[in-house]
Chain A
Amino acid sequence: MNIDIKVNNLNKIYPGKVPTHALRGISFEITEGEFVAIMGKSGSGKSTMLHQLGLLDSPTEGEIIIDDVNVSKLSDREKTIFRLQRLGYVFQEYALIFELTALENVLLPAFALNGSRQSHEERAIEILDKVGLKERVNHRPNELSGGEQQRVAIARALINNPKILFADEPTANLDTNSSIEVLELFKILNKELGQTIVLVTHEPDDRKYVDRVLWFKDGLLERIENNSLESGSIQS
């Protein structure tokens, strides 16, 4: 099995009068096609970890290798292109562009990558159909519910066939039904399309959707929990 993500001795220190050591020597690997959750209490470093993996922030020390590329050594411009080509990112608060319709939001990364909208429109509609929003393609974010907006954000993250999909507490602002819909969608993407997914969540129940859980505590990787979906049991 190919390794999609390899993290070596990652440290993140936020400077200040009292520097905050958010990540302390984290190392782990995630293989291709895995659905992994990063869990822990508030302040444990789980979101900080995802920001480093999603190239939204830079670690203080250590290295991250994604798809055989040491992304820690990339320039900001190279990181932007890498994000566009190989990563998908779903934010907690949807982070859609309000001036664009659902379809345009989804199309935007493909347009930026290839310079053509028309050629990707069919695929964008297909993905929106897959996330259950075929009838809402021309609606703008303020005309969609929270769950629908999050599904548009997921569709946008998938448009460029990312190697890895990162999701930062994607259900935190959703009601129970919408949360289940979003997590079921991730499960389908993972199982049917083999999409590697890294999910940050604080909901213990979300464990049942993932293959492994990386438990964080005080900036340390406390333990790794293997989750056997077939049996429904959890092995630490």
Chain B
Amino acid sequence: MIKDLKVAFFLGYKFIVNGNKSIIALMIFILSLAFVNLIFTTSLLNGVTATLDNQLINNSVANIVIDPQEYPTRESYITNTTKLRQQIKYIPGVTATVAHYNLIATFAYDKDKNGQFKYGSWPVIGVDPEEEPIVTGVSNHIIAGNYLKIPGITDIVLGSDIAGGYGAAAETTSLDGVKIGEKINLNFGNGVQREYTVKGISKVKFTLIDQNAYITAKDAKSILGIYDDRASEILVKINKTGDEDQYVEQIRKLAPNLKVRKWTEYTSMLDSITKSFDLVTGIISAVGLVVAATTIFILIYVNTINKRRQIGILKAIGIKENIIIISYILQSFFYAFFGIIFGSIIMFCFVAPYFSGHPIALAIGDISLAIKEPQVLQGILSLLAAALIAGLVPAWRAAKENILEAIWGA
């Protein structure tokens, strides 16, 4: 067997070294592109999912959301929030917690100061301006003006999709260009009306978040008529995303009546988008693999079929079939190996850095490539497996062919 392998290696090496350089270069180039395509498509879709996840965790609901109890009676607020937040903070791995006060208001803006108001309804979140930046990152995405400051009564930060004029995805439904320092009127769901001064405009590039407005918690509590230690929801930030389950369990023990959910469950629509993208990523990965495998197979198959005469000659002079087949599999591995190498260079040295510097702007944020090691490894192994089959099948068929038919092409 070792003797046969030595001969197979010798033949495979010679066929590569002394073969047609243009064909070899073309084969490797095409396999490189097949590999890039395989990794790129899945990485891009991973990027969409990762951006969605990051937006939710960093700019919206943090890792864990605690809502008021639903059973046996449905409550509007969480009570004793200060004590509960302190207890949660003691759980190792919890970074911070914040209390939110959720409202909905109808916004009215008289752009031209002529009594012609433009209206729209959006969520308003009451936040503690000092604590909030530790848990959510909206304060880091102020594109005009400033974030809220204590006391900040009558100050409001508008999401860019509310303000309008900042290239928002939902521009047509916006207030059509509110400027910093201008006044807007808010009519809250409970009938309270207030006039606010626009303190800042935020834009995280995720429509769902950019359609929120932010006022101070103190202000929100006064609107809601909360004069004790209650809150609409509590957000919990933890050190390591992915470990939410264990924290959810511990928080449920602290507050068995409250509804405690991971960020993945909080927004069912986004959760379904994420799941759909995971499914699409899986399908496209599978299709990409089949395309790459088929490309390799066709290339190597055509190449091997063109070597029928050579295979016939080798058989005629007494070279065993297994030696011939192994030599062709080695050639296939050579093409696949260098296809993977050059594909990796293209991917990691050019494509990924380019998209890192020039992310794709979508309604959920800036999308760059999220390359996952297991998927790269899967791509490599799949291409090598495809190369094995692509080398084996045609060589095996040609090696089994009648010698004279192989040589003379009968």
User: Interface residues, chain A, CB within 8 Å of chain B?
Assistant: 51, 54, 56-57, 76-77, 80-81, 83-85, 87, 89, 91, 95-100, 104, 108-109, 111-115, 117, 140, 156-157, 160
Contacts and interface: CB of A to CB of B under 8 A. Distances in A.
B2 A83 contact: no
Given A81-B320, A99-B14, A156-B317, A56 B7 contact: no
A9 B135 CA distance: 95
Contacts of B323: 112
B404 interface: yes
Contact of B320 (A77, A91, A114): A77
A108 B317 contact: yes
Nearest to B7: A112
A25 B5 CA distance: 42
Interface stretch (B35-43, B166-174, B307-315): B307-315
A96 to B, nearest CB: 8
Nearest to A57: B404
Contacts of A77: 320-321
Task: Report, nearest first, the 8 A-B pairs whose CB atoms are least far apart.
Answer: A84-B318, A115-B3, A99-B18, A83-B318, A95-B313, A56-B403, A99-B14, A112-B7
11 contacts: A57-B403, A57-B404, A89-B316, A99-B19, A100-B18, A111-B6, A112-B319, A115-B3, A140-B18, A156-B317, A157-B317
B10 interface: yes
A95 B3 contact: no
Contacts of A99: 14-15, 17-19
Interface of B: 2-3, 6-7, 10-11, 14-15, 17-19, 310, 313-321, 323, 402-404, 407
Contacts of B2: 115
Given A57-B402, A80-B320, 16 more contacts: A80-B315, A80-B318, A80-B319, A81-B318, A83-B317, A83-B318, A85-B318, A87-B318, A91-B313, A91-B407, A95-B317, A99-B17, A100-B18, A112-B323, A115-B3, A115-B6
Given A56-B404, A57-B402, A83 B15 contact: no
B310 A97 contact: yes
Contacts of B316: 54, 56, 83, 89, 91, 95
A160 B2 CA distance: 20
A111 B321 contact: no
Contacts of B319: 80, 84, 108-109, 112
Contacts of B403: 56-57
Contacts of A84: 317-319
Nearest to A105: B317
A95 to B, nearest CB: 4
Contacts of B310: 97-98
A77 B251 CA distance: 72
A56 B313 CA distance: 10
B9 to A, nearest CB: 11
A178 to B, nearest CB: 21
Which of A81, A96, A98, A114 has the most CB atoms of chain B within a 10 A radius of its CB? A98
Contact of A104 (B3, B14, B19, B313): B14
A75 B316 CA distance: 15
A96 B231 CA distance: 87
A81 B2 CA distance: 16
B320 A97 contact: no
Contacts of B317: 83-84, 89, 95, 108-109, 156-157
Contacts of B17: 99
Contacts of B404: 51, 56-57
Contacts of B15: 99
B12 to A, nearest CB: 10
Contacts of A96: 313
A102 B311 CA distance: 18
Nearest to B403: A56
B3 A97 contact: no
A98 B18 CA distance: 8
B10 A117 contact: yes
Contacts of A85: 318
Contacts of A156: 317
Given A56-B404, A117-B10, A97 B313 contact: yes
A41 B6 CA distance: 44
Contacts of B11: 108
B407 A115 contact: no
Nearest to A58: B402
Nearest to A160: B318
A56 B410 CA distance: 14
B318 A109 contact: yes
Nearest to B323: A112
Contacts of A109: 317-319
A56 to B, nearest CB: 5
A10 B17 CA distance: 44
Contacts of B3: 112, 114-115
A100 B318 contact: no
A104 B7 CA distance: 11
A160 B320 CA distance: 15
Contacts of A83: 316-318
A97 B314 contact: yes
B407 A112 contact: no
Contacts of B402: 57
A173 to B, nearest CB: 14
A96 B14 CA distance: 14
